Amino acid sequence: MMAGFMSYFGGRRDAKQSSRDAIVTLRQQLQMVEKKEEYLQKKIDEELKKAKANAVANKAAATAALKRKKATEQELERLQGTRFQLEMQVNTLESASFNAETMAAMKKAATALKDIHGTLNIDKVDATMTDIQEQTQLANEVSEAISSTTYTGVDIDEDELKQELADLEQEELDTRLAGADHVPVHHPAGKIATKPIQTAEEDDEETQLRELQAALAM
Protein backbone atom coordinates (compact mmCIF):
# COMPACT_ATOMS: atom_id res chain seq x y z
CA MET A 1 0.00 0.00 0.00
CA MET A 2 2.84 2.32 0.86
CA ALA A 3 4.49 1.57 -2.50
CA GLY A 4 1.26 2.44 -4.30
CA PHE A 5 0.91 5.60 -2.26
CA MET A 6 4.43 6.73 -3.10
CA SER A 7 3.89 5.88 -6.77
CA TYR A 8 0.69 7.89 -6.85
CA PHE A 9 2.46 11.00 -5.60
CA GLY A 10 5.41 10.54 -7.89
CA GLY A 11 7.67 8.90 -5.34
CA ARG A 12 10.72 7.12 -6.61
CA ARG A 13 10.40 3.36 -6.96
CA ASP A 14 13.02 0.71 -7.40
CA ALA A 15 13.09 0.06 -11.16
CA LYS A 16 14.61 -3.38 -10.70
CA GLN A 17 11.94 -4.48 -8.24
CA SER A 18 9.21 -2.92 -10.37
CA SER A 19 10.39 -4.88 -13.39
CA ARG A 20 10.43 -8.11 -11.40
CA ASP A 21 6.90 -7.50 -10.10
CA ALA A 22 5.64 -6.83 -13.62
CA ILE A 23 7.24 -9.98 -14.98
CA VAL A 24 5.73 -12.09 -12.19
CA THR A 25 2.30 -10.59 -12.85
CA LEU A 26 2.56 -11.22 -16.58
CA ARG A 27 3.61 -14.81 -16.08
CA GLN A 28 0.70 -15.42 -13.73
CA GLN A 29 -1.64 -14.01 -16.36
CA LEU A 30 -0.04 -16.26 -18.97
CA GLN A 31 -0.79 -19.29 -16.85
CA MET A 32 -4.44 -18.25 -16.63
CA VAL A 33 -4.57 -17.75 -20.41
CA GLU A 34 -3.07 -21.18 -21.03
CA LYS A 35 -5.63 -22.82 -18.77
CA LYS A 36 -8.42 -20.97 -20.59
CA GLU A 37 -7.00 -22.15 -23.91
CA GLU A 38 -7.07 -25.75 -22.71
CA TYR A 39 -10.72 -25.35 -21.65
CA LEU A 40 -11.74 -23.83 -24.98
CA GLN A 41 -9.95 -26.54 -26.94
CA LYS A 42 -11.79 -29.24 -25.00
CA LYS A 43 -15.07 -27.45 -25.69
CA ILE A 44 -14.30 -27.34 -29.40
CA ASP A 45 -13.55 -31.07 -29.42
CA GLU A 46 -16.84 -31.82 -27.61
CA GLU A 47 -18.92 -29.73 -30.02
CA LEU A 48 -17.25 -31.46 -32.95
CA LYS A 49 -18.18 -34.86 -31.50
CA LYS A 50 -21.82 -33.73 -31.07
CA ALA A 51 -21.93 -32.51 -34.64
CA LYS A 52 -20.62 -35.81 -35.96
CA ALA A 53 -23.04 -37.81 -33.80
CA ASN A 54 -26.09 -35.85 -35.07
CA ALA A 55 -24.97 -35.28 -38.66
CA VAL A 56 -27.36 -37.94 -39.99
CA ALA A 57 -30.14 -38.31 -37.44
CA ASN A 58 -30.51 -34.72 -36.21
CA LYS A 59 -29.14 -32.11 -38.57
CA ALA A 60 -30.46 -29.21 -36.52
CA ALA A 61 -28.53 -30.37 -33.44
CA ALA A 62 -25.48 -30.97 -35.57
CA THR A 63 -25.71 -27.46 -37.04
CA ALA A 64 -26.07 -25.89 -33.59
CA ALA A 65 -23.03 -27.80 -32.37
CA LEU A 66 -21.02 -26.57 -35.34
CA LYS A 67 -22.06 -22.97 -34.62
CA ARG A 68 -20.94 -23.27 -30.98
CA LYS A 69 -17.70 -24.84 -32.18
CA LYS A 70 -17.12 -21.95 -34.58
CA ALA A 71 -17.76 -19.32 -31.90
CA THR A 72 -15.46 -21.10 -29.47
CA GLU A 73 -12.71 -21.27 -32.11
CA GLN A 74 -12.96 -17.51 -32.65
CA GLU A 75 -12.68 -16.94 -28.90
CA LEU A 76 -9.66 -19.24 -28.78
CA GLU A 77 -8.01 -17.28 -31.58
CA ARG A 78 -8.49 -14.01 -29.70
CA LEU A 79 -7.12 -15.60 -26.56
CA GLN A 80 -4.08 -16.86 -28.44
CA GLY A 81 -3.46 -13.29 -29.66
CA THR A 82 -3.64 -12.11 -26.06
CA ARG A 83 -1.15 -14.77 -25.00
CA PHE A 84 1.23 -13.67 -27.75
CA GLN A 85 1.09 -10.07 -26.51
CA LEU A 86 1.74 -11.15 -22.93
CA GLU A 87 4.73 -13.24 -24.00
CA MET A 88 6.14 -10.30 -25.95
CA GLN A 89 5.81 -8.06 -22.90
CA VAL A 90 7.55 -10.61 -20.70
CA ASN A 91 10.40 -10.92 -23.19
CA THR A 92 10.71 -7.15 -23.49
CA LEU A 93 10.76 -6.65 -19.74
CA GLU A 94 13.30 -9.43 -19.20
CA SER A 95 15.52 -7.99 -21.92
CA ALA A 96 15.22 -4.48 -20.50
CA SER A 97 15.95 -5.75 -16.99
CA PHE A 98 18.97 -7.66 -18.22
CA ASN A 99 20.25 -4.58 -20.07
CA ALA A 100 19.75 -2.42 -16.99
CA GLU A 101 21.66 -4.88 -14.80
CA THR A 102 24.41 -5.10 -17.40
CA MET A 103 24.74 -1.32 -17.52
CA ALA A 104 24.80 -1.15 -13.74
CA ALA A 105 27.60 -3.73 -13.63
CA MET A 106 29.55 -1.84 -16.29
CA LYS A 107 29.08 1.40 -14.38
CA LYS A 108 30.47 -0.21 -11.24
CA ALA A 109 33.42 -1.52 -13.23
CA ALA A 110 34.09 1.96 -14.63
CA THR A 111 33.97 3.44 -11.14
CA ALA A 112 36.36 0.75 -9.88
CA LEU A 113 38.78 1.53 -12.70
CA LYS A 114 38.68 5.22 -11.81
CA ASP A 115 39.42 4.38 -8.18
CA ILE A 116 42.33 2.15 -9.19
CA HIS A 117 43.87 4.68 -11.54
CA GLY A 118 43.24 7.63 -9.27
CA THR A 119 45.50 10.47 -10.36
CA LEU A 120 47.41 8.16 -12.69
CA ASN A 121 47.83 9.39 -16.26
CA ILE A 122 49.87 8.52 -19.31
CA ASP A 123 52.56 11.08 -18.51
CA LYS A 124 53.18 9.54 -15.11
CA VAL A 125 53.25 6.06 -16.63
CA ASP A 126 55.82 7.15 -19.20
CA ALA A 127 57.93 8.81 -16.51
CA THR A 128 57.83 5.69 -14.37
CA MET A 129 58.83 3.46 -17.28
CA THR A 130 61.71 5.81 -18.11
CA ASP A 131 62.94 5.63 -14.51
CA ILE A 132 62.78 1.83 -14.60
CA GLN A 133 64.78 1.69 -17.83
CA GLU A 134 67.41 4.09 -16.47
CA GLN A 135 67.80 2.17 -13.23
CA THR A 136 68.02 -1.12 -15.13
CA GLN A 137 70.73 0.27 -17.38
CA LEU A 138 72.61 1.61 -14.33
CA ALA A 139 72.43 -1.79 -12.63
CA ASN A 140 73.85 -3.46 -15.74
CA GLU A 141 76.69 -0.94 -15.95
CA VAL A 142 77.53 -1.44 -12.27
CA SER A 143 77.58 -5.23 -12.69
CA GLU A 144 79.81 -4.94 -15.75
CA ALA A 145 82.18 -2.55 -13.95
CA ILE A 146 82.47 -4.88 -10.95
CA SER A 147 83.15 -7.95 -13.07
CA SER A 148 85.80 -6.20 -15.23
CA THR A 149 88.06 -4.97 -12.38
CA THR A 150 89.88 -8.28 -11.87
CA TYR A 151 92.93 -7.40 -14.01
CA THR A 152 92.76 -3.64 -13.67
CA GLY A 153 96.30 -2.13 -13.82
CA VAL A 154 97.93 -5.29 -15.25
CA ASP A 155 99.63 -4.80 -18.62
CA ILE A 156 98.98 -7.98 -20.60
CA ASP A 157 100.38 -8.56 -24.11
CA GLU A 158 97.76 -10.70 -25.83
CA ASP A 159 100.20 -11.84 -28.59
CA GLU A 160 102.79 -12.88 -26.04
CA LEU A 161 100.14 -14.72 -24.08
CA LYS A 162 99.07 -16.66 -27.19
CA GLN A 163 102.69 -17.58 -28.03
CA GLU A 164 103.30 -18.85 -24.50
CA LEU A 165 100.18 -20.95 -24.70
CA ALA A 166 101.33 -22.39 -28.07
CA ASP A 167 104.77 -23.25 -26.58
CA LEU A 168 103.15 -25.06 -23.67
CA GLU A 169 100.95 -26.99 -26.04
CA GLN A 170 103.97 -28.06 -28.17
CA GLU A 171 105.92 -29.06 -25.08
CA GLU A 172 103.09 -31.24 -23.91
CA LEU A 173 102.86 -32.91 -27.33
CA ASP A 174 106.64 -33.59 -27.37
CA THR A 175 106.45 -35.15 -23.91
CA ARG A 176 103.66 -37.45 -25.01
CA LEU A 177 105.56 -38.51 -28.13
CA ALA A 178 108.73 -39.21 -26.14
CA GLY A 179 106.79 -41.37 -23.76
CA ALA A 180 105.31 -43.34 -26.65
CA ASP A 181 108.86 -44.33 -27.88
CA HIS A 182 109.63 -46.09 -24.59
CA VAL A 183 106.46 -48.05 -24.34
CA PRO A 184 107.43 -51.73 -23.69
CA VAL A 185 106.65 -54.20 -26.48
CA HIS A 186 103.71 -56.35 -25.66
CA HIS A 187 104.04 -60.06 -26.42
CA PRO A 188 100.92 -62.13 -26.82
CA ALA A 189 100.21 -64.62 -24.08
CA GLY A 190 101.91 -68.06 -24.57
CA LYS A 191 104.51 -66.81 -27.11
CA ILE A 192 108.17 -67.07 -25.94
CA ALA A 193 110.60 -64.30 -26.95
CA THR A 194 113.35 -65.44 -29.35
CA LYS A 195 116.08 -63.56 -27.44
CA PRO A 196 116.31 -63.44 -23.65
CA ILE A 197 116.34 -59.97 -22.12
CA GLN A 198 119.71 -59.21 -20.52
CA THR A 199 120.25 -56.87 -17.65
CA ALA A 200 122.96 -54.17 -17.62
CA GLU A 201 125.11 -56.21 -15.22
CA GLU A 202 125.07 -59.26 -17.53
CA ASP A 203 126.14 -57.11 -20.49
CA ASP A 204 129.14 -55.80 -18.52
CA GLU A 205 130.35 -59.29 -17.53
CA GLU A 206 130.10 -60.50 -21.12
CA THR A 207 132.20 -57.56 -22.31
CA GLN A 208 134.94 -58.29 -19.74
CA LEU A 209 135.00 -61.96 -20.75
CA ARG A 210 135.51 -61.08 -24.40
CA GLU A 211 138.38 -58.72 -23.51
CA LEU A 212 140.08 -61.49 -21.45
CA GLN A 213 139.77 -64.00 -24.32
CA ALA A 214 141.34 -61.49 -26.69
CA ALA A 215 144.29 -60.95 -24.34
CA LEU A 216 145.00 -64.69 -24.00
CA ALA A 217 144.88 -65.12 -27.75
CA MET A 218 147.70 -62.67 -28.10
Are the beta carbons of 72 and 40 closer than 8 angstroms? yes
The whole-angstrom separation of Cα 82 and Cα 92 is: 15
Nearest Cα to Cα of residue 67 among 82, 53, 50: 50
CATH topology classification for 2-105: Helix Hairpins (1.10.287)
pLDDT at 24: 92
Kindly report, residue by residue over 62-75, the tens digit of the pLDDT: 999 999 999 999 99
Kindly report, residue by residue over 195-204, the tens digit of the pLDDT: 455 555 566 7
**Is pTM beyond 0.75 here?**
no
Domain boundaries, the chain: 2-105
Are the beta carbons of 30 and 90 closer than 8 angstroms? yes
The whole-angstrom separation of Cα 4 and Cα 18 is: 11
Of 59-63, 158-162, 198-202, the one with minimum mean pLDDT is 198-202
